[in-house]
Amino acid sequence: MNPRDQADEILERISRLRGQLADVEAQAEVEIERIQQEYGPVLQVLKHRIAAEEKNLQSVAKKNRSSLFDGVDRVDLHHGALLYRFEHRVKRVRNVLERLEEMGFSEAVRVAKSVDWDVLERWPDEKLNLVGTERVPKETIEYELK
């Protein structure tokens, strides 16, 4: 078989497989939507009830802190345990980032650095060499499906 026919057969298989993939993804989306509609309301009710009970537990524990945690930081109960911890935390307020930068406290500011490769692509070769990289040939073969 010549390379043109071989490549054309491969393109035909890729096209068929992509069609199958699209069909399965569409079926999966329909099924996921059906499951979300069926279970979504029940899940929401349960999540809200759990959140309300957790809030209720916090309230009971805070109101009765001295009797529940009499000199201990853990109370084991029949259905679980309550844990008590007291610590000083930094209060999160607005505009702290701006104040840190104004005062030069850069050690408390996160900066995510990364190379902007799109900018480097536009640089001349001499400038690329200065930073330890170079432009190299890259062969690319792409395909289109009909």
The residue extents of the domains of the chain are: 3-113
Q: Where are the alpha helices (DSSP H) in the chain?
A: 3-63, 65-68, 96-103, 117-121, 125-130
The two tokens of residue 90 are 């930094």
Per-residue pLDDT band for 114 (boundaries 50, 70, 90) equals very high
Per-residue pLDDT band for 120 (boundaries 50, 70, 90) equals very high
Q: What distance in Å separates the CA atoms of residue 32 and residue 53, rounded to the nearest whole number?
A: 30
The two tokens of residue 96 are 């702290």
Q: How many CB atoms lie within 10 A of CB 65?
A: 13
Residue 143 has a pLDDT of 83
Average pLDDT over residues 99-123: 93
Quick check: pTM over 0.85? no
- The model's pLDDT over 83-106, given as tens digits with 9 standing for 90+, comes to 999 998 998 999 999 999 999 999
Average pLDDT over residues 20-45: 97
